[in-house]
Structure 1
Amino acid sequence: MTGYLPTLKTASPEEGFELALKLSRLAVKFTQPDEAVRMKLRAIYEADAQALIATSHVVSTNFQTIAAANGYWLS
């Protein structure tokens, strides 16, 4: 499988964050390819504070990777 991931280079931190969200969603889709199952599970985790915090952690980790690739905070 090739060509489904874009480059990590982005024009701004905002685009980088959007890319982090996309990468996180792709990970879920590859982990659970059945859309019906994902929708069923969403009803469970959308009301679970710990699951939402874990989701934020995944997005944060992806954003850190993108930020490092782009040197967002270099002087």
Structure 2
Amino acid sequence: MQTQWLSSLKTDDPQAGYELAIKMARMGVKYTQPKDEVRQKLRPVYEQDANSLIASSQVIAINFQTVAMANNYWS
């Protein structure tokens, strides 16, 4: 288990919320594949695959939706 990195979903504005959504997606990959050398080996494969990139964007969008809801859509 890694040290705690997510203390809140609250952010100051939508830009910070989107950046948090990206961080959440990246941390999800790190939890799923904790070995840096394996992630580095796989990166050239998925960075050239449109379907993988679209899937990554979908994960970020879902995370952003969650963060936006937690922030009451910054209203």
**TM-score, length of structure 2 as denominator length:** 0.91
Gaps of 5+ in 1: none
The match for 1:25 is: 26
Give identity over the alignment, percent: 55
Is 1:12–2:8 an aligned residue pair?
A: no
Gaps of 5+ in 2: none
Question: 1:8 is matched by which residue type in structure 2?
Answer: L
Alpha-carbon RMSD: 1.4
Query: What is the DSSP-based 3-state SS (H/G/I as helix, E as strand, rest coil) of the residue aligned with 1:7?
Result: coil
The match for 2:37 is: 36
Q: How many residues align?
A: 74
**TM-score, length of structure 1 as denominator length:** 0.91
The match for 1:51 is: 52
Moved over 3 A (4+): none
Alpha-carbon distance in structure 1 between the residues aligned to 2:4 and 2:74: 28
Alpha-carbon distance in structure 2 between the residues aligned to 1:4 and 1:12: 19
